[in-house]
Structure 1
Amino acid sequence: MQDTSKALPGFSYSRAFFEELVDTAMAHAKKLGASDVGAEASEGSGLSVSVRKGELETVERNRDKSLGVTVYLGQRRGNASTSDFSRAAIEQTVQAAYDIARFTAEDPVAGLPDEADIARPAEQRDLDLFHPWPITSAQAAEMALACEAAAFGVDKRITNSEGAGVSAQQSHFFSAHSHGFRGGYASSRHSLSVAPIAGKGSGMQRDHWYSSERNACDLAAPEAVGRYAAERALSRLKSRKVATRECPVLFESPLAAGLLGGFVQAVSGGALYRKTSFLADSLGKNVFPEHIDVVEDPFVAGGKGSSPFDEEGVRVKARKVVDGGQVEGYFLSTYSARKLGMKTTGNAGGSHNLTLSSRLTRAGDDLDEMLRKLGTGLFVIELMGQGVNYVTGDYSRGASGFWVENGRIAFPVQEITIAGNLRQMLAGIQAVGADAYTHGAKTVGSVLVDRMTLAGN
C-alpha cells in the first residue's frame, strides 16, 4: 500500500499514499453505516538543536504520523485516530469512531460543512508554503553557536545565556470528507533564537530575540539576531520601579500583536456562542476608533497564516474584519456559526493573516516618533502572566519596559503591573506606528493606548 516514490523531500509518504489511506478509511465508515465521514492523514518531521555558553546542549529529531477519522451517525459524532497505517489499524480506528458516535448524544448543529461552502480543487491556490531546509545537526549547531557568540561579543556586561536554538520543521497532510472536499498541502516553519543575560547578581536582566520564516533563506543572519538580543538585554540594566499612576502606554509591536489576538479571541465563535466574551453582539458596532482597520488575507504568499481552505475544507477569502473601527465580521467555524444562526467565515482552526492599521499612520511614524507621541508614559517591551478575563475584558499583567519623559526614554522599569479593560484599551488606541512587525500570523506596528493604570511603588 505504501508508495514513497513521489514523497516530498524529508517525508516518508506521498500525497498519493495519503489519498488512498483516507479513501480506505472513508469507504469502511460508509460500509459500517455512517451517514457522513471525514478523514485526514498527516506526517511531520523536524530537527531542533540548542546550545548554551558555547557548548552543544541538545539535538532532537522528531517524526510523527497520524490518521484521524470523524464519523457521523445523523447528528451524533465520533472521532478516533491512529499512527498505525496498516489496513487492520485503519478499520479498528474507523470502528472506534463509529462506536463513539453510537453512544454520543445528538447535537442539533453537528455535521460537516454545507456543500456550498466547500473549497473545490480548482479554487485551492498554491501559496508557496513549503520550503524544506536540508540542514544537518552540525550545521544547525554552528548557526546557533554563531548567534550566541555574537550576543556575547556585543559587551562584556553580557555575562550569561539561556542558550540559542535552531529549529527546522515541516509537515504535509491530505484531508477529505463526504460532502465533496478533497485537499492538502505541505508547509514548513524554521526558526533561530537566542536569550542572553546582562549584568550580575540581583541586577541581572534577560531578553531574547528570534527570527521565524517558512523559507530558511529569509531568516535573519545569526549574528544580527544575537547582537539585537544582547542590545535589548543591556538596555534593561539598572531597571527600577515607578510610582503608581495612570498614564498612556505604548506597546512594542510584537506585544501589540497580543492586543489584536485578544480582540480575535473575543469575536471568535466559541466565546460568542458560549457567551463568554466581552464583545458579544459587537457585529456592526464600533469597538476601535474610526481610524483603525483590521484586514484578514489567507492568500499571502508564504504567510504564516496562509491557507487555501480552513480546517474543515471550507472556502476562505480576504476580507475587512474591522472597517473604520466597526466590526464587520466574526471568526466562525461551521459549528459555531450554526450555534449563532450565522454562516461560517472559513475560520475553523483560527484566523488567517491579520493586519491592524491606522488611517492616521504616516511613513515617518517610526519608534522614535511613537515615543514622541507617547510624551510621558510607559513603553512596554515585555508582558508576563495571563491576566486577561475575556468574559469582562479586565486586563492586568506584569510588565517591563521604559519610562518615557517628554518623548525620550528616561530609564528602564521592571516589577510593575499594567491594568485596564480591553474594551477601553481597544477604543483608546490613539496611534499605530509604521514599525510594522509580523508576529506569527498577525502584523501590527507599535500601538499607543491613551490611558492605563500602572501599579508600582
Structure 2
Amino acid sequence: MTQTPETLCHALIEAAQKAGAEAADAIVAEGQSLSIEVHNSKLEHAERSEGIDLGLRVLIGKQQALVSSSDMRAETIQTMAERAVAMAREAPEDPYTGLADAGDLVQTWDLDALELADPSPEPSPEALQIDALAAEAAGLAIDGVSQVQAAGAGYGRHRVHLATSNGFSGGYSRTSRSLSCTAIAGTGTEMERDYDGDTRTFQADLRSADEIGRTAGERAVAQLNTRRPETGSFPILFDERISSSLIGHLLAASNGAAIARGASWLKDMMGEQILPASLSVIEDPFRPRISGSRPFDGEGLATQRREIIKDGVLTGWTLDLASARKLDLTSTGNAARGIGSVPSPSNWNIALTPGEHSQADLLRDMGTGLLVTSMIGSTINPNTGDYSRGASGFWVENGEVQYPVNECTIAGNLKDMLRNLIAANDGRSYLSRVVPSLLVEGMTIAGN
C-alpha cells in the first residue's frame, strides 16, 4: 500500500504511543522540484529532486524530544519512536511545552478558497528552459549590459500533513513557479550587477520572462558609475524592493518568543504608539494564491486575521502555545513547525497600510537624501532597537535622482524610524509581505 503523508503521520504517532509516549505530534512533508539555469544561451544546470521528510515530537509529562528522518520504512518509524521516547525521558522539564487542548484544535477549513496549489500540469524542463532563455535574451538586449550572470526557472509541488495524538489531522498541497535573471553591466573594474525575479503559486500569475530580464538589465545599467554619498543626517527612502525589512524588524520585536525572553525593544510598549496613526499592520493568512496563507498553524490551531498594529498602536504579540503560556496569554495561531524543530512563533501574510502618494511624490518631497535599493549586513540591537546597515542606491537632490551610490552605512533607532514613517502606495499586492516604499525623515549616512 502506498504511504501518504497522512498515513505516515498516524503511523508515527501510533509507534510513539506504543513506545511509551504520553502525547505526540508528527509532521510529514513530501515534495518534488525542478530547476533550470541557462548561461550564454545554453543550458547550464538542470536539477530535479523528490523526497519525503518525517518529523516526530514525543512528550512524557513536561519532557519532550524530537527526531526526524527521510526514511519511511516501518522499521525506521519504530526506531524513531523508541529513540524519541528514550531522549524525552532524559530531557529537562519544560513547564510550557505540550499539545493544544483537544477542544481548541481546528476541525474544518476551506482549502479551495485559499488556492494554495495550481491544478495545471507540471511544466516540462523544455518549457522552463524556454522561459529562462527568454529572460536572458531580454536582459542582454538592454544597452550597457555586458552579460547575464544567470537566468533560471523553477517549479515545485509540496504536500505537508500534521497530526497530533489528541485528535488533529490535516494537510494541504502547495505549488510554486519561479523565474529570475541576474544581469551585469559594464566591464573590467567598472561592473555592476542587479537582479529581478518572481515567484507565484499559479503559473498564470507569473510575470513575463521579457519583463523580468529587461528589468534586471535596466537595474544593472542604472548602477554604473557609482559614488559614495555625503556623510550627514538626511531623509532615507527605502525602495519597495527592500522596505519590508523595516517591518520585518518590527515583527521580530513583537514575536512572543523574544518577548518571553525579555529580549525585545518592544517588550514594554504594548498599547503604545509604534507607527504613525495612519498606518496599520494586518496579518491575513486567508489571501488566495499567496505563499503565506494557511488554514491552520503548526500546532493544529486555527489561523486568524488580526491587526498587529492598529492605527499605529501595538495591539498584540505573535504567539505559539509555549510563548503564550510563558506570558499567561492565548496562542494567536502563529506556530510554525519544521520537520526537525519544535513549534515557534512566526508571522503569515503581512500588509502595511498604503499611503496616498507615489514613490516619485516622496522623492520630490524629500529634497536631498538617499533612495536605498539594496542593503547588506546588519547590526540590529534587539534590546534597544539601534539600527545600522550597509546600503546602496541613488543620491537624490532637489527631489530628483542624480547618481548611483554605494559603500555607505545608514544608521538610526527603530523606535524613531518607525514612528515617523511615511508610506507610498506602491506595495505589490501579490507578495506575502505587502509593504510600499517607506520614507524615514532623518537618518545618519556614513559616506565620504
Same fold by TM-score greater than 0.5: yes
Asked whether the 8 Å contact 2:280–2:307 carries over to 1, the reply is yes
Instruction: State the shift of 1:122 in Å.
Output: 4.8
- Give the RMSD, CA atoms, in angstroms: 1.6
1:22 alignment counterpart? 9
Write out aligned runs for 1:436-447 (5 A): 436-437=427-428, 440-447=431-438
**CA 1:85–1:192: 2 relative to 1, 3 Å:** same
Please tell me the residue identity of whatever aligns with 2:347: S
Q: Whole-Å Cα distance in 2 between the matches of residues 401 and 433 of structure 1?
A: 18
Please tell me the residue identity of whatever aligns with 1:434: N
2:2 alignment counterpart? 2
1:435 alignment counterpart? 426
Q: Whole-Å Cα distance in 1 between the matches of residues 110 and 166 of structure 2?
A: 16
Asked whether the 8 Å contact 1:188–1:215 carries over to 2, the reply is yes
Determine whether 1:354 maps to 2:350.
yes
Determine whether 1:141 maps to 2:129.
yes
2:442 alignment counterpart? 451
User: Which of residues 34, 38, 43 in structure 1 aligns to 2:21?
Assistant: 34
2:67 alignment counterpart? 80
Asked whether the 8 Å contact 1:254–1:437 carries over to 2, the reply is no
2:138 alignment counterpart? 150
Segments of structure 2 that go 5 or more residues without pairing to the other structure are: 337-345
Runs of 4+ in structure 1 off by over 6 angstroms are none
Write out aligned runs for 1:273-284 (5 A): 273-284=260-271
User: Which of residues 101, 104, 112 in structure 2 aligns to 1:114?
Assistant: 101
Determine whether 1:331 maps to 2:322.
no
Determine whether 1:202 maps to 2:189.
yes
Determine whether 1:344 maps to 2:366.
no
Q: Whole-Å Cα distance in 2 between the matches of residues 328 and 340 of structure 1?
A: 15
**CA 1:390–1:439: 2 relative to 1, 3 Å:** farther
Instruction: State the shift of 1:117 in Å.
Output: 2.9
Determine whether 1:383 maps to 2:371.
no
SS of the residue aligned with 2:7?
A: helix
Q: Whole-Å Cα distance in 1 between the matches of residues 262 and 401 of structure 2?
A: 42
Segments of structure 1 that go 5 or more residues without pairing to the other structure are: 4-16
2:209 alignment counterpart? 222
Asked whether the 8 Å contact 1:121–1:182 carries over to 2, the reply is no
Instruction: State the shift of 1:394 in Å.
Output: 1.6
Q: Which moved more, 1:313-322 or 1:122-131?
A: 122-131
Asked whether the 8 Å contact 2:5–2:159 carries over to 1, the reply is no
Please tell me the residue identity of whatever aligns with 2:352: L
SS of the residue aligned with 1:212?
A: strand
SS of the residue aligned with 1:64?
A: strand
Q: Whole-Å Cα distance in 2 between the matches of residues 318 and 436 of structure 1?
A: 19
Please tell me the residue identity of whatever aligns with 2:280: D
Q: Whole-Å Cα distance in 2 between the matches of residues 214 and 122 of structure 1?
A: 20
2:343 alignment counterpart? none
Asked whether the 8 Å contact 2:22–2:61 carries over to 1, the reply is yes
**CA 1:119–1:177: 2 relative to 1, 3 Å:** same
Q: Whole-Å Cα distance in 1 between the matches of residues 222 and 204 of structure 2?
A: 30
Residues 415-438 of structure 1 show CA distances to partners (whole Å, capped at 9, x for unaligned) of: 111111111111121x21111125
Please tell me the residue identity of whatever aligns with 1:258: S
**CA 1:456–1:141: 2 relative to 1, 3 Å:** same
Determine whether 1:63 maps to 2:54.
no
Q: Whole-Å Cα distance in 2 between the matches of residues 386 and 191 of structure 1?
A: 27
2:221 alignment counterpart? 234
Question: May I ask how many residue pairs the two structures share in their alignment?
Answer: 438
Residues 242-270 of structure 1 show CA distances to partners (whole Å, capped at 9, x for unaligned) of: 22010010000121111111111111022
Residues 400-452 of structure 1 show CA distances to partners (whole Å, capped at 9, x for unaligned) of: 111111211111111111111111111121x2111112585210110001111
User: Which of residues 256, 263, 269 in structure 2 aligns to 1:269?
Assistant: 256
Q: Whole-Å Cα distance in 1 between the matches of residues 385 and 313 of structure 2?
A: 18
Asked whether the 8 Å contact 1:257–1:439 carries over to 2, the reply is no
SS of the residue aligned with 2:189?
A: helix
Instruction: State the shift of 1:205 in Å.
Output: 1.2
Q: Whole-Å Cα distance in 1 between the matches of residues 264 and 40 of structure 2?
A: 45
Residues 114-145 of structure 1 show CA distances to partners (whole Å, capped at 9, x for unaligned) of: 23432113576641001165122222122111
2:340 alignment counterpart? none
SS of the residue aligned with 2:76?
A: helix
TM-score (norm 2): 0.94
Q: Which moved more, 1:169-178 or 1:23-32?
A: 23-32
TM-score (norm 1): 0.93
Q: Whole-Å Cα distance in 2 between the matches of residues 119 and 342 of structure 1?
A: 19
Please tell me the residue identity of whatever aligns with 2:61: G
SS of the residue aligned with 1:332?
A: coil
Please tell me the residue identity of whatever aligns with 1:344: S
Write out aligned runs for 1:116-135 (5 A): 116-122=103-109, 126-131=113-118, 134-135=122-123
Please tell me the residue identity of whatever aligns with 2:432: A
Q: Which moved more, 1:281-290 or 1:218-227?
A: 281-290
Percent identity at matched positions?
Answer: 37
